[in-house]
Amino acid sequence: MKQPQLDSKYNWDNLESRWYKYWLEKKYFQADEDSSKEPYTIVIPPPNVTGKLTMGHVLNNTIQDILIRKARMEGKNACWIPGTDHASIATESKVEAMLSEKGISKSMLSREEFLEHAWDWKDKYGGIIIKQLKTLGCSCDWDRERFTMDQDYTNAIMHAFVDLYKEGLIYKGKRLVNWCPASKSAISDEEVIHKEKNGKLWYLRYPISGEDGYVVVATTRPETMLGDSAVAINPKDKRYKHLAGKKISLPIVNRKIPIIFDDFVNIDFGTGCVKVTPAHDPNDFDMGNRHNLEFINIMNDDASLNHNVPEKYQKLTREDARKTIVEDMSSKDLIDKIEDYANSVGYSERGGVPIEYYLSDQWYMKMDTLAQPALEAVSSGKIKFHPEHWVKTYNHWMKNIKDWCISRQLVWGHQIPVWYHKDDVEKIHVSIKGPADPENWKREKDVLDTWASSWLWSFAVHSWPDKDKNLKTFYPTNTLVTGPDIIFFWVARMIMAGTKFLNEIPFKDVYFTSILRDKDGKKFSKSLGNSPDPFTLFKEYGTDAVRFSTMLMSPQGLDVLFSNERLEIGRNFMNKLWNASRFVRMNIDDTVLNSLEINIDELEIEEKWILNQLNKTTDDFNKYLDDFKFNEAAKIIYEFTWNDYCDWFIEIAKTRFYGDDTEKSKKAQIVAVKTLRGILTLLHPYAPFITEEIWSYFRGEDDVDLIVAPWLNIKTYTPDLEAIKSFDTLKGIISSVRMIRSQMNIPPNKHSSIVIRKAEKLHSVINNSKAIIQSLAKVDKIIFSDDNNRPDKSATVITNNIEIFIPLEGLIDFEVESSRLKKRLGELEKHVSASKNKLSNDNFIKKAPEEVVAHEKQKLDDMIVEYNLVEQNLDFLT
RNA sequence: GCGCGUAUAACUCAGUUGGUCAGAGUGCCUCCCUUACAAGGAGGAAGUCGGAGGUUCGAAUCCUUCUACGCGCACCA
């Protein structure tokens, strides 16, 4: 059993793991495929199996946890399917690095041997990020955890490949691919990052064969001249008409290459003559096809020069080759000039080195027919993006989609299910099981792009292609939460996979998270080392605080400027919540917890007010969450808890708790607990640990754990407007008195009396709340004055048309009071004249809606009343 | 070149279909260890809503345009 009182300090350290373990034991995270409850499903964007948790993961997975916990509390069949992906390139390069430390190179090992090392590696590091997600509090159904290289999942991938191949949507082609010389593999267009680089433009002289002259070509990559097979000129370029039919004698290699004419060449760029290297440049590749040129591959798979170049250059790296070529051309006086030139260079996202365009056999997926239904799914609104503006980016990419190079020259991954006949390479076999006579066949060595496995994630986490109960219950999923940086890699392709293989969209809503940056606006990255370690933060601030603060600082659709300082907001808030709860627990009778029934009509005004505020907050909170505005929802529950509940309600409740009236005290206790339980409910998805802990001190005997407690939903409510208005007046009185006292620097232990004028209608309200005013505004006597006499030597303030005097014999600083009143007069003057202007405008009276005009009139009247009173008081003062 | 986003207090952000005297948190200033919380309480100062036009009775909000910053795509000999 719980101790009835909360510790004096919130200590999250062992409490978090204790609750997580408890929830697991109770199997609260488990979804049930047989349940008749409405399913709510999320598939996790699978992190890299050997990765570690980053703040990006914290952001992303907290959001998913919020959605899934809320759904669970709403009584839905909440299913969050976790897992990891195998991340071909990243993992393979890590394994290679590990092996090379042991003096083993990949080429020394057979495929099977390398895979063994890779699986060892995966077994060793594969569980880390999963454990970390548990520390974060993620309520995933861990029994459903998947890995993209599981047997079932692999089967799904093979199935998809064979299907698409049979339909003619997968084909093999020899063309230029983006080649990453670091991982020695092809990569897709999406994995190429273009960076602006300051380079040079070399103007090379190419001698015309059999003549004295030369043409000058400009290039950013002089080393590729070794693979040139033509020089091209625009046919409309009058300057070079005379070169028709002539040949170039290519320096250094001494190859005779033709001069060709092609519209592609830009007359105005450089000299108008361009060297053509069909095997190493996409545009030149096309020209090579058009003009039937020679395709000379001059590179090895690591981008060093191969045997197709003169011996001197063979085996040089591309960087050394460039230097040597420039030197050699220069010594032959074949460099016309060199200019500085900024151009963008494609880098391999994973390898971090410039890519090469490399001629090779690769497997491609035909995309245009796959794209059509996916495009339709979003434009029809069946799938909604949040924020919506990503639709444009999505559409643009989809409409210009190019075929996808899906083969990778790697080992760690899904080996392509294609076999080549040993006697006839043209003869190929494509199936999941392989040929019946394997001895006569050789399997394709390449593996599939990792995204060509994770694009099936939304349904391959089940036993697809079998359509079992799980698939039927949990597909389509509800919401995908992911970063906008993988909108093409993953989101778009998952939509294509869903519509293609199941003829149904994979999810209804896609929430794109913010990008985390440091407080200077730099993107968090490993290479910059500016990314904080989440676990240090969890320890320092508490996991709930990190979760809550991260949500609070992440506006929808905008980047987040993250700083530890901003985590203090969450930590302080958790501390506030803890202490408020502690205080309430200290002051309630245990019996209250089991009988929270209450007659609303009999409540005090502050009780009616706080319950109304809770209703409003609940309503707004739900609306914000429906809208995926996690920051707004966080903010509103924060404000309600701190400002309304702690600063006003609990302060007032003190007068009830410590007052003589036991009935009133009991009512206050019930409302205090009711409201607190509301706060805990709404806050639980954001801060699961602390709320469950506090809940355990406030639950009745029949109540369930908070994680499965019913969600708060306010359908309709009819507030007692009269009571709320009275309470606002009361707040106004208290705030006004506090302001005066503070400005006069009156210490809290020195109580003062107040005189209230022009408040005939409010006498009963004020009388009923006398104790509250006295306690919160540090007032001893409240005097009503209905005549025209004003107390001497008083400060004055006007609120809600009530005039309040605070006689402060000997304490008043008349200078301060006078300048304060003058300032207020100035403000009023400004607003009154603006308001008068508005109301004297006939068009405003005629065209504006009635209630706006009426409101404006009321406002002006109130301001004039206040103006006159302030003016009188000022006169009186001087 | 095409597209997207952002610009409101010193900082980080709210501000709904145009209509409360433009808000919050942090920071800053003043006072206070008052029966949960100094990770706290009370109060205060602080904004030409990026610039310029326009629509409107009325614009932070809608339109045009410019500027600055960020991002994506395409081209790049």
- Total domains, chain A: 2
Q: Which two tokens stand for residue A540?
A: 């320092």
Selection from A785, A772, A789, A773 nearest residue A741 by Cα: A773
ipTM confidence:
0.94
> Which residue has tokens 């946890």?
A65
Give nearest nucleotide to A645 (CA–C1'). B36
Residue A48 pLDDT: 92
pLDDT of residue A874: 79
A310 within a domain of the structure (yes/no):
yes
Distance CA A372 to C1' B74 in A: 22
Quickly give A179 CA vs B67 C1' distance in Å: 41
Which bases of strand B sit closer than 7 A to a protein CB? 3-6, 12-15, 19-21, 24-26, 30-32, 34-37, 39-45, 56-58, 70-77
A305-A311-A315 Cα angle (round to 5): 30
Mind listing the pLDDT tens digit for each residue in A340-397?
888 888 999 888 899 999 999 999 999 999 999 999 999 999 999 998 889 989 999 9
- Among residues A749, A584, A737, which one has the least CA distance to residue A651? A584
Q: Residue A75 in contact with residue A40, Cβ under 8 Å?
A: no
Please tell me which residue lies nearest to nucleotide B69, judged from CA to C1': A521
Which stretch of A466-470, A483-487, A507-511, A794-798 has the lowest confidence by average pLDDT? A794-798
C1' (B44) to CA (A510) span, angstroms: 45
pLDDT mean over A642-659: 93
Q: Is residue A571 part of a domain?
A: no
Residue A13 counted as domain residue: no
Give the position of tokens 């304490």. A811
pLDDT for the residue numbered A3:
54
pLDDT, one tens digit per residue, over A829-861 is 878 888 888 888 888 888 888 888 888 888 888
- The lowest-confidence range among A297-311, A366-380, A703-717 is A703-717
- The rounded distance, in Å, linking the Cα atoms of A251 and A205 is 9
Percent pLDDT > 70 in chain A is 98
What's the CA gap between A532 and A824, in Å, rounded?
48
Q: Which residue is nearest to nucleotide B75 (CA to C1')?
A: A344
Domain end among A332, A356, A380: A356
**Measured CA distances, A783 to A749, A756, A763, A771, A790 (Å):** 20, 6, 10, 14, 12
Q: Which residue has the tokens 């003016």?
A: A871
Protein CA at A522 to nucleotide C1' at B71, angstroms: 13
Tokens of A573: 């808030």
Q: Does residue A825 come out as left (phi exceeding 0), alpha (psi in the -120 to 50 range) or beta?
A: alpha
A757 beta partners: A785, A803
Residue where one domain finishes, among candidates A337, A356, A375:
A356
Q: B67 C1' – A575 CA distance, angstroms?
A: 45
Closest to A555 measured CA to CA, from A672, A634, A664, A615: A634
* Helices marked H in A553-660: 564-586, 605-626, 630-639, 651-657
Q: State the Cα angle at A801 between A796 and A807, rounded to 5°.
A: 20
- The C-alpha atoms of residue A645 and residue A655 are separated, in whole angstroms, by 15
The confidence band for A2, taking pLDDT boundaries of 50, 70 and 90, is low
Separation of A647 CA and B41 C1' (Å): 9
- Distance CA(A208)–CA(A224), nearest Å, equals 19
Let me know if residue A801 belongs to a domain.
Answer: yes
| Nucleotide showing the shortest C1' distance to residue A201 CA | B77
Q: Which residue is nearest nucleotide B18, judged by alpha carbon to C1' distance? A: A848
Which residues are A204's β-sheet partners? A217, A335
d(CA A323, CA A319): 7
Q: For residue A1, what pLDDT is reported? A: 39
Is residue A159 in a domain? Answer: no
Q: How many residues does chain A have?
A: 878
Q: Determine the average pLDDT of the residues in A227-237.
A: 94
Domain containing residue A236: 185-356
Domain at A760, CATH number: 1.10.287.380
pLDDT at site A603 = 93
Q: Which of A305, A321, A356 is the last residue of a domain?
A: A356
Nearest nucleotide to A852 (CA to C1') is B19
Give the CA A775 to C1' B34 distance in Å: 10
Mean pLDDT across A185-205: 90
The neighbour count for residue A226, using CB atoms within 10 Å, is 23
Is A192 among the domain residues?
A: yes
Give the helix/strand (H/E) hosting A158: helix A151-166
Residue A202 lies in a domain: yes
- CATH number at A258 reads 3.90.740.10
Nearest alpha carbon to residue A354 among A275, A299, A412, A401: A299
Determine, yes or no, domain membership for A480.
no
Which has more pLDDT, A523 or A373? A373
Q: Which nucleotide is nearest to A731 if distance is taken from CA to C1'?
A: B42
Residue at A436: amino acid letter: A
**Out of A58-67, A302-311, A338-347, A477-486, least confident range:** A338-347
Which of A249-258, A419-428, A526-535 shows the lowest per-residue confidence on average (mean pLDDT)?
A: A526-535
- Residue A211 CA, nucleotide B53 C1', distance (Å): 65
Share of chain A above pLDDT 90, in %: 66
Q: Whose CA is nearest the C1' atom of nucleotide B27?
A: A565
